[in-house]
């Protein structure tokens, strides 16, 4: 399947090069749907060209037949009225040649004016149909080329986004690995410390050390000591207020009343 798609893509690129000529080939999305669509368009175009080639060959054959018929008619003209084409004037010869060529091109059996006008009208209609079909094909090719260019641009942007995502994923994976390694290290250290702590507690218990000297007990006592220091400091501040009072109770009361009035 991939080989078939690759062969069709090659055929499509060659066909686009022939159609576009010197114009640069627009990029198109390299996928099965786009290649199949362009390949179908290429086949239709080639079938159209093949039909045109067959028509051209048919026209050539008819041209030869009309040429022979013209020679026969010239002979009949000569035999009937005794007039040879060589005896006509230059304008008469030109008119006769124009009529013969027009009849050959239009595939007419008669050179009457009505036959000529009808054939010319049909030829114009065919030419208009061909022009419309050609313009439709050109618009289709342009739309496909535009879509292919947009798809190519989107594909390139997606490639850049994917590269950034992959790069971010690598960074995150590296961080994750470092975190896992650190977690494993800390877990092993925690186990080691618990074993060492248990061993130390057993040794301390065996040596008769007072449990109140353990680290946690010391920390607790330190906190209690800090609280006592704060309490003592508060009491000292309260006692300092009474240091300035006189030793006599009456004078002390007077001193307190004066302090109250000042406040």
Q: Is residue 109 part of a domain?
A: no
pLDDT at position 223, please? 83
Task: Provide the number of structural domains found in the chain.
Answer: 2
pLDDT at position 106, please? 67
Q: Is residue 151 part of a domain?
A: no
pLDDT at position 251, please? 62
Q: Is residue 230 part of a domain?
A: yes
Q: Is residue 103 part of a domain?
A: no
- Domain boundary (81, 115, 134) is at 81
- Count CB atoms within 10 A of the CB of residue 181: 10
Q: Is residue 88 part of a domain?
A: no
Q: Is residue 225 part of a domain?
A: yes
- Domain boundary (20, 46, 81) is at 81
Q: Is residue 215 part of a domain?
A: yes
Question: 246 Cβ partners below 8 Å, 6+ apart?
Answer: 252, 255
Residues of the domain holding 49: 1-81
**pTM, entire model:** 0.32
Classify residue 198 as left (phi > 0), alpha (psi -120 to 50) or beta. Answer: alpha
Entry field: residues in the chain: 263
- Domain boundary (59, 81, 103) is at 81
pLDDT at position 4, please? 61
pLDDT at position 244, please? 58
Q: Is residue 12 part of a domain?
A: yes
Averaged pLDDT in 10-residue chunks for the chain of 263 residues:
67 76 71 80 84 86 80 64 60 68 67 70 84 89 86 88 88 86 84 79 70 65 82 72 58 63 57
pLDDT at position 24, please? 74
């Amino acid at each position: 399947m991939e080989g078939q798609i690759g062969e069709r893509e090659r055929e499509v690129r060659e066909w686009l090069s022939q159609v576009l000529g010197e114009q640069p080939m627009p990029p198109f999305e390299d996928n099965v749907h786009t290649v199949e669509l362009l390949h179908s368009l290429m086949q239709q175009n080639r079938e159209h060209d093949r039909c045109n080639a067959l028509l051209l060959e048919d026209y050539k054959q008819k041209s030869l037949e009309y040429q022979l018929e013209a020679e026969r008619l010239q002979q009949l003209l000569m035999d009937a009225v005794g007039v040879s084409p060589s005896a006509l004037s230059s304008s008469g010869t030109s008119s006769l040649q124009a009529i013969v060529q027009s009849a050959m091109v239009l595939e007419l059996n008669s050179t009457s004016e009505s036959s000529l006008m009808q054939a010319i009208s049909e030829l114009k209609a065919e030419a208009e149909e061909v022009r419309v079909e050609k313009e439709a094909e050109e618009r289709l090719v342009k739309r496909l080329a535009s879509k292919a260019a947009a798809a190519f641009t989107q594909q390139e942007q997606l490639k850049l986004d994917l590269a950034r995502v992959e790069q971010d994923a690598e960074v995150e994976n590296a961080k994750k690995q470092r975190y896992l390694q650190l977690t494993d290290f800390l877990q092993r250290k925690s186990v080691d410390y618990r074993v060492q702590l248990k061993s130390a507690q057993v040794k301390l218990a065996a040596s008769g050390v007072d449990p109140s000297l353990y680290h946690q007990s010391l920390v607790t006592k330190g906190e209690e000591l800090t609280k006592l220091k704060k309490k003592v400091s508060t009491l000292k501040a309260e006692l300092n207020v009474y240091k300035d009072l006189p030793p006599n109770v009456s004078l002390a009361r007077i001193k307190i009343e004066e302090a109250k009035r000042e406040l």
